[in-house]
Structure 1
Amino acid sequence: MDVPHHLTATQLLAAYRDKALSPLDYAASLIAHIEHWEPHLKALYAYRPEAFLAEARESSERWARNDPRGTLDGVPVTLKELIATRGTPVPLGTGLGDQRPAEEDAPPAARLAEDAALLLGKTTCPDFGMLSSGLSSFHGLTRNPWNLACNTGGSSSGAGAAAAAGYGPLHVGTDIGGSVRLPAAWCGVVGFKPTLGRIPIDPYYVGRCAGPMTRSVDDAALLMTSLARTDRRDAMRLPPETIDWTDLRLELQGMRLGVMLEAGCGLPLDEPIRLAVEQAARCLEAAGATLVPIAPVLTREMLDGLDRFWRARQWSELETLTPAQRERVLPAIVDWAEEGARLSGVEAVRGFQQTLNMRRATEAAFEQVDAVISPTTPNVAFPTDWASPTNDPQRPFEHIAYTLPWNMGEQPAISLNGGYSDDGMPLGVQLIGPRFADHLVLKLAKALEQRREIAPRWPSLPTGG
């Protein structure tokens, strides 16, 4: 058997069925593995190993009786701390304000509990989920396991680090402008942002999605079987639909695949990422797809407009804090949001209007093609203690130009590893489909994963203190 923490969720479930491994044996091995990694990464919040072991023991007893309680019985999972779990505070990366324990599970947590997945712990995020960085005034600094001097990205920073380091096979993040796909790219894992409403979420908001972060496309699909079930607490949810998420067979012959190498604005594209995307596109072309170069969907006006709206929105939250509390928020966020106090209502509304312009542009892209391939990030890596790839609070979104439009347009998009730079850092490749074509995007990702044939490779455990 492989090293336990290298097993996928599918492999784990097979091992449980065959009595080759018990959930308790796996949990004990996983805890020992995390003890070595976590002092370096700081990816976890509300991590309670004794409670996790107790649940694993109960799961082992069920498997011994051949009576698993759910489809994920005994499989560890982490949830981003923004996803409420009953009995645990939701600090929003800051620990400010009312920190009473959550009274109920948010929809993703509730679905996983129904399927008897074992909650390993929560994962870290930056203040208010408003940075693509591992920086947090509450959690501290979460580092990238591929290189501790490099950033995880965010805001699902802990989930990206935990997935790459092998903290179990299943992780769930949230994404409003790239917060699942960006850390997935920089940490070399799979990150799937579904169509808005496909995975019910609470609180819900324009563009906000929960999504799987895993080491394989198969595990992302497996997670969808739980997460995509309906929940009326999300007023933006999609109607229930019967989908066999784990059936990832796809015939590529005749598919028109748009190749979008330029973002339209933001940071310039690093050459290693361009080459990785081009190679990925050629793999799919060799399998039958027709490649169609397409123009960017984002403009400078769109990105700047949304930036202004988000500043005003964030300032409205900061304004509820006392001056002493505001001083505890990361300076990069305060410096960025302060302009929101000076914007007029008309300027904020004009900024929000750009979300609709993005929606129009992204929808139009699929008049020509069935799916799109692009970079996930423009840059290979950036320093671990930076608030963003520019580290400039006045230019905080220059790196989200490839991911943001698909949140505002509500299309499903997935990032998966497309290879490595000369320095050994992962290179993210993104696949996007039309609204509601979530299953197609997962199938296309599986096809690419199989055809790229990148040898399994995961970060080495740090040595020393």
Structure 2
Amino acid sequence: MDSTEIAELDAEALLALYRRKALSPVAVVADILDRIARFEPDINAFVRVDADRAMADARASEARWAKGAPKGLLDGVPVTIKDLIDVEGLPTRKGSLTTPRTPASRDAPAVARMREQGAVFVGKTTMPEFGWIGACHSPLTGVTRNPWDLSRTPGGSSGGAAAAALLNLGVLHLGTDGAGSVRIPAAFTGVFGLKPSYGRVPAYPASAFNVLAHLGPMTRTVTDAALMLSVIGAPDARDTTAWNTPPPDYRIGLCDGVANLRIAWSPRLGYVRDLDADVEAAAAKAAARFTELGAIVEEVDPGFADPTDLLRTIWYAVSATIVDGVPAAERAEMDPGFLRIAEAGRRYSLADYLAAQGRRVELAQTMIDFHDRYDLLLTPQIPVPAIEAGVVTPPDGRFGEEWLAWSPYTYPFNLTQQPAASVPCGFSQSGLPVALQIVGPPRRDDLVLRAARAYESLAPFATLAAPRGQKRKRRPPERPPPDFDAFR
């Protein structure tokens, strides 16, 4: 099997070939490492590539498959981990020059579950500093770029994971989502991203953003995401807020379809003013296709007011707490934009924060009531295609200076903690991906996956073999710090 064919394979196909001894994990990982070496200078998606350990793990997997004794559901499947999540033996830098270089002493729960099932860890992916924005540039690693158009961001904060997923530089990719950080980059790059119900995937250490923060899969196919969630959703005693029940196999019933489901389509959630015409048209067409699948689709808004102020209170206050935990002498090395929102966050009192949490619960109840009438909610995912790389908001000024203004569809469902997925549904006239959001009732991750798979069956997701406009020569990152440890 040549490199081109390997680059097209998803986890389901890889495992079938391993089972038949028609392909080796060693060949797959070697191919991925080769493509990272070729593409990384242009996209800058990795903080570190652990090539030696990846090849050693691939050889161990190859030996198990040769004996017909795979270790688990993911044996030999290459994965990447966002650099907000601990991987034993590697530092967790969080996009910041101010974080320790000390390697993590143990795997985070989701990483541990994948390791137990035989996954091969390729490396850690880039993110903005402490995940503060929906773009992907940081003082630590510079600018990460969108493979569809290198002048654009892949989105954030799980931006490196999205770029790697699109190019199949690893097959399963673990991201985090505190206000859209899985779904924004999934939309901007045209991959599938799922923010599971809060607590379905245990987290440790706990996120500073607490009840807003979810861990979820980013993949090329819905089936791969279902497989991944079936593994990473297993309980872990270190997270006292996570579910203590084993996850189902989310692949079971995945193809049951959406016939007779009641689905709400809300193009503007009742308050979104600025929506790109290409995005609205593509998302509306995608929503309408659910009628072809047998669902009952009605245009209706969920009935809540714009929750930006609510999210801002929590997001900015927590950002202030993060920055205040960094020694004052080191703050000059931090992202100036992050420092500005932290300064704004210091103006919120504890009473403000607690009141916001109370309003968050009220918003969640509104959506619970809404789902008594509708099984699913569909919206556009992001109101614009991918914005320019290296900026916080589009330079034309239409969204002002705050990134939350161009991501109004994502954070409401972090506040409510319900499952939501970003599903590729076409392209803008400029050739950039557009996505549909599927939102489900709390703890109905299976239903969101089913709906996403039903749509995928009608409109398979586009893929990309190499970055468009790739210069095919090595170049340094825009801002290489002294301790930059990426694979070069």
Q: Does TM-score exceed 0.5, indicating one fold?
A: yes
Residue matched to 1:82 = 84
Residue matched to 1:220 = 225
Find the partner of 2:449 among 409, 429, 442: 442
In the alignment, the residues of structure 1 paired with residue 146 and residue 186 of structure 2 have an alpha-carbon distance, to the nearest angstrom, of 11
Matches within 5 A, 1:384-399: 384-389=389-394, 395-399=402-406
1:23 CA displacement: 0.7
Q: Which amino acid aligns with 1:263?
A: L
1:161 CA displacement: 0.8
> Which deviates more, 165-174 or 183-192?
165-174
Residue matched to 2:277 = 271
| Maintained 8 Å contact 2:80/2:174 | yes
Identity fraction in percent: 35
Matches within 5 A, 1:373-412: 373-389=378-394, 395-412=402-419
Residue matched to 1:128 = 130
Find the partner of 1:289 among 295, 298, 301: 295
Which SS does the other structure have where 1:351 is aligned? helix
Matches within 5 A, 1:238-249: 238-241=243-246, 243-247=248-252, 248-249=254-255
Residue matched to 1:38 = 40
Matches within 5 A, 1:197-236: 197-204=199-206, 205-236=210-241
Residue matched to 2:362 = 357
Q: Which amino acid aligns with 2:450?
A: K
Find the partner of 2:144 among 124, 142, 148: 142
In the alignment, the residues of structure 2 paired with residue 393 and residue 340 of structure 1 have an alpha-carbon distance, to the nearest angstrom, of 18
Q: Which amino acid aligns with 2:146?
A: N
In the alignment, the residues of structure 2 paired with residue 349 and residue 454 of structure 1 have an alpha-carbon distance, to the nearest angstrom, of 42
Which SS does the other structure have where 1:213 is aligned? strand
Residue matched to 2:439 = 432
Which SS does the other structure have where 1:145 is aligned? coil
Which SS does the other structure have where 1:144 is aligned? coil
Find the partner of 1:337 among 330, 339, 342: 342
CA RMSD of aligned residues (A): 1.9
| Maintained 8 Å contact 2:47/2:126 | yes
In the alignment, the residues of structure 2 paired with residue 11 and residue 389 of structure 1 have an alpha-carbon distance, to the nearest angstrom, of 39
> Which deviates more, 264-273 or 310-319?
264-273
Q: Deviations over 1:379-428 (max 9, x none)?
A: 11210011244788852311232111111111111111101111111101
In the alignment, the residues of structure 1 paired with residue 304 and residue 134 of structure 2 have an alpha-carbon distance, to the nearest angstrom, of 19
1:322 CA displacement: 2.8
**TM-score scaled to structure 2, two decimals?**
0.91
Higher RCO (CA < 8 A, seq sep 6+):
2
Residue matched to 2:421 = 414
> Which deviates more, 40-49 or 235-244?
235-244
In the alignment, the residues of structure 1 paired with residue 212 and residue 234 of structure 2 have an alpha-carbon distance, to the nearest angstrom, of 19
In the alignment, the residues of structure 1 paired with residue 260 and residue 166 of structure 2 have an alpha-carbon distance, to the nearest angstrom, of 35
Residue matched to 1:29 = 31
Q: Which amino acid aligns with 2:327?
A: T
**TM-score scaled to structure 1, two decimals?**
0.95
In the alignment, the residues of structure 1 paired with residue 170 and residue 218 of structure 2 have an alpha-carbon distance, to the nearest angstrom, of 11
Matches within 5 A, 1:1-20: 3-20=5-22
